[in-house]
Amino acid sequence: MTAPRPDSDRLTRFLLPDAGVRGVRVHLRDTWSSIRTRDDYPAAAAELLGEASAAAALFTGHAKIDGRLSVQLRGEGALRTLFAECTAAGTLRGIVRLAEGATTLSHGLREAGDGATLAITIENPRAGDREPQRYQGLVALASDSLAVAFEEYFRQSEQLPTRMALAADDTAAAGLMLQKLPGDEGDADGWNRASALFDTLTAPELLTCPTSTLLQRLFHQESPQLLDQRPLRFGCSCSRDRVAAVLQSLGQDEARAAQVDGRVHVRCEFCGQNYTFDHAAIDALFTAGPVPMSAPTRLQ
């Protein structure tokens, strides 16, 4: 068995100062294993899930996140759901769901079918018990590749040149993101140089190279500077309060109709935790006020 690398399950932010480029690198090993082994996913579906998990983590190194950031695709084709979430506390979770009877994916994101939607959503907590502040951006599905779709999204939404590489296999998931700094930072040819060097990156390098080795191999002429690192781990934000809030949202009649032998049983798809509500607990949900849901801890 290969020993975990010390920089696995880490998010690393870096700078190419002369080129005027910022970057984020994510490498997941134990975290990816925990996500990957929650279900028996076909290889192509697992690869997409690994890429989405790495992307969700990358974006938390790019944007200010006090709550959670998720990548979610919904479709009506063979690929029905792709979801990955990373919180400010550095916890990740994710799932992928195929249509009934589908056993593999052969055409990437096109398997989601016509009318599919891909979104990046940020939820940041507000003071008190107010609902979280929510931002959502829709990503055009003009490519089979998640990385290419996200590159185009950032070009259009932030009007900044962006490069992204994502990869996943049975043992690791990883991502690398470059973005030109706003304004006139860096020399005139800096972005072109960084982008050309980025094009030499291979998926095996992205999945296996330690971060310091990878950055030196790609960008040694640009004198890369490490800014900071954050640990990443598998973690689920499910809780009894969150399940109770979902049951409340269904309404009293539907919540009662979901009872089996006088109890409602709910199993979290992400972590497998089981929650049980008996008849009295269901009644209490509709005699008390709304169930508060706490926000994840901030990591800064």
197 CA to centre of own chain: 26
Q: What is the DSSP string of 105-153?
A: -SSGGGGG-TT-EEEEEEEE--STTPPPEEEEEEEP--SS-HHHHHHHH
Length of the chain: 300
Candidates 163, 134, 131, 137; CA nearest to 68 is 134
Q: Which amino acid is at 156?
A: Q
- 218 pLDDT more than 70: yes
Coil, strand or helix: which one is 83? Answer: strand
- Collapsing DSSP states into helix, strand and coil, what is residue 254? helix
Q: How many CA atoms lie within 13 A of 185 on its CB side?
A: 13
Task: Quote the tokens at residue 282.
Answer: 């269901």
If one compares 100 and 209, the residue with the highest pLDDT of the two is 209
Would you state the pLDDT for residue 71?
96
Per-residue pLDDT of 105-160, as tens digits, reads 776 788 888 889 999 999 988 876 677 788 999 998 888 899 999 999 998 888 88
In the chain, what percentage of residues exceed pLDDT 90?
53
H/E stretch holding 274: strand 274-278
Would you place residue 289 in the very low, low, confident or very high pLDDT band (cuts 50, 70, 90)? low
